[in-house]
């Protein structure tokens, strides 16, 4: 699944046949089959036992990376609901933030990142994502200071 997820919000640009981006895109396209298989397997797990938070998190990752953003959001929210205040919820909030940021919802992404950091203030991926978000959206820095 994770080989297929290398893309994670890849912006495809046309730089010519020999560009590194083109090779990256080829790896992503090859990985889509693995992601689709992982998605179907995690769907089975969540149907058999809907209380496994890690299965919901992994289903969210697969859905998100396959471009099924709405299904990804729902899966991440289920993971959070099943296992609040755990590393699983932290990861789900972080991934949710990335998805919301990519969808052009910076305020909602900020909330998701803050929720991840409330669980684990030392989690560096969220700190990096939050920094990128506030750098791209300076008005959010004011919201961050007000909280």
Q: What is the pLDDT of residues 83-121, one digit of tens each?
A: 999 999 999 999 999 999 988 999 999 999 999 999 999
For the record, the structure tokens of 104 come out as 């052009």
d(CA 71, CA 56): 11
The pLDDT assigned to 74 comes to 97
Neighbours of 22 (CB within 10 A): 14
pLDDT at 11 over 80: no
For the record, the structure tokens of 133 come out as 């978000």
Confidence grade of residue 3 (pLDDT, cut at 50, 70, 90): very low
d(CA 135, CA 20): 26
Q: Which of 15-19, 98-102, 137-141 has the lowest mean pLDDT?
A: 15-19
pLDDT tens string 21-65: 556 556 666 677 888 888 999 999 999 999 999 999 999 999 988
For the record, the structure tokens of 74 come out as 């729902």
pLDDT at 5 over 50: no
The pLDDT assigned to 66 comes to 87
Start-to-end C-alpha separation, the chain: 37
**What is the largest distance, in Å, between two alpha-carbon atoms of the chain?**
48
What pTM does this model have?
0.81
């Amino acid at each position: 699944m994770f080989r297929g997820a290398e893309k994670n919000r890849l912006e495809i640009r046309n730089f010519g046949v020999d560009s590194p981006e083109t090779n990256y895109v080829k790896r992503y396209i090859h990985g889509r089959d693995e992601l689709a298989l992982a998605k179907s397997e995690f769907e089975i797990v969540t149907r058999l036992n809907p209380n496994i938070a890690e299965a919901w998190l992994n289903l969210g990752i697969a859905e998100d990376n396959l471009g099924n953003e709405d299904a990804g959001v729902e899966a991440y929210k289920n993971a959070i609901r099943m296992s609040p205040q755990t590393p699983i919820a932290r990861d789900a909030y972080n991934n949710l933030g990335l998805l919301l940021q990519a969808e052009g919802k910076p305020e909602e992404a900020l909330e998701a990142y803050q929720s991840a950091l409330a669980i684990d203030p030392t989690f560096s991926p969220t700190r990096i994502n939050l920094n990128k978000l506030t750098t791209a959206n300076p008005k959010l820095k004011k919201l961050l200071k007000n909280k």
